[in-house]
Structure 1
Amino acid sequence: MAAQAHAETEFPELVRFREEWKEEVRQRRAARQQTESEPPDSQTQRHAPPLVGTSQLPPASTTACDSSDLPVQPLSQADLHNRVAVSVSRASLYTSNSESNNSSTLTRAVGIYRSAVQHEQEGRLDEALKLYSQAFRLEQNVDRTYFWEEQRSQQLAIPSPLAADLGGLLKATFTGKSKVNAAQGTTIIKADTKDKYCASGALAKLIANFPAELAFTPEDEREGVALNVIPDELLLNVLRSLDTTTIERFAAVCRKARVLSLDSSIWKDFIYMAYKPPQIPDADSVNAIIKRFNADYRQTYIEQPRLRLDGVYISVCHYVRRGVSDYAWVNSMHLVTYHRYLRFFADGTVLSLLANEEHTPQNVIPVLKPSLRMKGFTVGNWQLDGSIVRISNLHSPHYYPSSRYNFQMSLALQSKPLGRWNRLEVLSYESVNVETGEVAPFVLKHERPFWFSRVKSYPGYH
């Protein structure tokens, strides 16, 4: 008895667990006696299969113990952990899909865990840590139950028309209150303004869940946001004066900023500035390109290939050359590094420069202009055919103005990641006899892909 009193003093949770276990055994015994006393018809009705659409719980254990069978000696710590694990597993099995059948202890633990998560999100880490500890003391697997309930609630919150259209193209036009068209998988938001916001694919699914009324929210709720006073029309005029990188960074601030950044007028300006000859075969081709992307100007600007004019494409090449030594037993090798530069202009002019490692990109980029006088510098013409860049008539205007040969290149335009269009893979490099038109290809051993580097001083599209 002294040992039992000591255990009750040292392990209050053990005492609580023993009392709960006794109460559970008494309830099972009473339920078994009631089942045995009921007539067969009542038992058949009790064990009838559940109705369609209801969730069937796993059957409870048929083993029952009398209270007189309970051990007199206190449980060891190992037995306590085993019984707690069994209790938690049983509680997790009795969780239904439509309603929570958790025990009162598990429900209380989940509530404390949810409060701990809120405290952590608000930055009150000390309070969150105390609540986490309290929740895990009540139930060991409370985190699993909490995340299961959160996942279930998120699944129930997804609108059925959007969930059913996972594979199709989802197009959204936003200007006010939302309206879901289940037949076409299209989300349309209408308002009194004439501005329209357009998005496709995963972005449209994300914005379809936005509330109808959007505003800039402050980090501190006690402070206001000056942007809410500015009309949307004025904000759109400001956005139209920015570059695409700045617009996308602004769009990542909040929901209102994301919706404003999708205004068709913003991306329409970029489309008509970028996609014109020699980016496309002729001026009328841009309308066919926009139609192919269902008038989603932002998606067109991202996915339609285009050469970047606001920077320079640089290829860093290496090769190893055997050196000369005064001694036969010494074998010297030299690593040679050189750079190739390509700068494109909107009028179809391209500048090409081959420079050794003495001329670093920091020194070359500021002077890479048509007036450059340098060995290895050539000027030519370029045209974009789909995703293939064709460079022709490369010649040296200063060192060899009357040369019998010029050069031409073919490169594959690629984008990593999508929308950057920052990589040029060399497909061919050839020399052309001006008089006869004979073409002689060069063997490409050491050539490497060109990667784009943005230069703030370069004008880009205009």
Structure 2
Amino acid sequence: MATVIPPRTGLEHLQYLETKRPWLSLYGTRVRPVPPAGSSSSKPVYDSSLLHCMLPDELLQEVFMHMSPYALGRAACVCRKWRYATRSPILWRNACLKTWQVTGWEENERILWMQYGGSWRTMWQKRPHLRYDGLYVSRNTYIRAGIAEWRTTNPVHLVCYFRYIRFFTNGKFLYKTTPLRLKEVAKTLQGRPSKLDSVFGGRCTLTDTQVEAALIYPGKRPTVLRIRLRLRGTVTGANNRLDVLSLVTCGVDENEMSTGAEVLDVTEGWEEDETHNPDIPATSHRRGMAAFVFVPFEEVETSVLNLPVDKMDYYVPG
């Protein structure tokens, strides 16, 4: 007996090409008030998290693994389930080890149990640390008298300029002083700046809440810029302010330029009158000492620091 083979219509291959999407069943679902099970109360309870019925906890944790610690803090405010999911020690352990990678894994473990009771989340919130997801900006203004012409009274100009610092987890940082506003400089510091951008790199150390940073201005007469800062936050764990304690420039001997690593060694601290060139004494500056304010990259375009001088003649960082 001959076997009859039905004609191929192509529909049998759809099961291999179509990806199962169980969350599509949530579309068009009307959320209705449902009374609690086993309760005699007639007060309705709204189930507004239908997506959690289709999203397993393992997948939710995988999504949170790719988020920054400050994004996790915002995610914890979405609902109760997300709040419990963001308390996973693995998420905060990875954030702490990445932030303090210069300290080393063993030292971080010792600090964790000695000072923070073994909680990685508490360590992240209470241990001072520099932020790497944005820029620290210092807005400075001063009054400069103009030149008198004919019988015109001397004009007065309000000069505004900015200091920008971006820190990295390996103990290095980028520094730039310019009159350009935040949104015009952020793209330069996010990428790989060139020499024409006048961006200088240096090294820094963080001891408790004190930051010591140093960089070299190249040129015919190289100069070392040393900045001492104090880290603080407007709320717990923010670390969004840097107070300028001192700002010193000193000369560099030509013989020391070949050993730039030793010149930028800031691990043992430095004095205000310390200089690397006996012929050029150190100079302590008192202008441009406004505190640095942290601005995340996602808030660069909307920050108030982009306003011109006529709309914001001063700025109080708080």
Q: TM-score interval w.r.t. the shorter chain?
A: 0.5 to 0.7
Where does 1:156-235 land on structure 2 (aligned, <5 Å)?
A: 220-221=46-47, 225-235=50-60
Q: Is residue 429 of structure 1 aligned with residue 247 of structure 2?
A: yes
Gaps of 5+ in 1: 1-121, 123-217
Where does 1:37-436 land on structure 2 (aligned, <5 Å)?
A: 220-221=46-47, 225-277=50-102, 280=103, 282-291=104-113, 292-327=115-150, 330-356=153-179, 359-368=180-189, 369-374=191-196, 377-392=199-214, 394-396=215-217, 400=219, 403-435=221-253
If the length of structure 1 is used for normalisation, what is the TM-score? 0.46
How far apart, CA to CA, are the structure 2 residues paired with 1:252 and 1:388?
32
The structure that has the greater radius of gyration is 1
How far apart, CA to CA, are the structure 2 residues paired with 1:366 and 1:259?
36
Match of 1:448 among 273, 278, 290: 290
CA deviations on 1:108-163 (whole Å, 9 max, x unpaired) are xxxxxxxxxxxxxx9xxxxxxxxxxxxxxxxxxxxxxxxxxxxxxxxxxxxxxxxx
Structure 1 letter corresponding to 2:226: Q
SS of corresponding position for 2:282: strand
How far apart, CA to CA, are the structure 1 residues paired with 2:105 and 2:195?
34
CA deviations on 1:221-275 (whole Å, 9 max, x unpaired) are 4x77231344333322222222223322332233332222111111111111111
**What RMSD in Å do the two structures reach over aligned CA positions?**
2.8
Q: Could you tell me how far 1:329 is from its partner in structure 2?
A: 6.5
Contact 1:351 / 1:370 at 8 angstroms: preserved in 2? no
If the length of structure 2 is used for normalisation, what is the TM-score? 0.65
Contact 1:264 / 1:297 at 8 angstroms: preserved in 2? yes
Contact 1:307 / 1:421 at 8 angstroms: preserved in 2? yes
Q: Could you tell me how far 1:378 is from its partner in structure 2?
A: 2.3
How far apart, CA to CA, are the structure 2 residues paired with 1:411 and 1:219?
52
CA deviations on 1:338-372 (whole Å, 9 max, x unpaired) are 1111111223221111112xx22222111125532
Give the % identical residues: 26
Contact 1:430 / 1:441 at 8 angstroms: preserved in 2? yes
Contact 1:428 / 1:441 at 8 angstroms: preserved in 2? no
How far apart, CA to CA, are the structure 2 residues paired with 1:371 and 1:276?
24
How far apart, CA to CA, are the structure 2 residues paired with 1:363 and 1:329?
35
Structure 1 letter corresponding to 2:186: I
How far apart, CA to CA, are the structure 1 residues paired with 2:287 and 2:74?
40
SS of corresponding position for 1:284: helix
Q: Between Structure 1 and Structure 2, how many residues are aligned?
A: 232
Gaps of 5+ in 2: 1-32, 34-43, 254-274, 301-318
Tell me which protein shows more helix as a share of its residues: 1
Change in CA separation of 1:415 and 1:352 when aligned onto 2, cut-off 3 Å = same
Contact 2:193 / 2:199 at 8 angstroms: preserved in 1? no
**Structure with more contact order per residue of length (Cα contacts < 8 Å, sep ≥ 6):** 2
Contact 2:140 / 2:288 at 8 angstroms: preserved in 1? yes
Structure 1 letter corresponding to 2:276: G
Contact 2:142 / 2:158 at 8 angstroms: preserved in 1? yes
SS of corresponding position for 2:177: strand
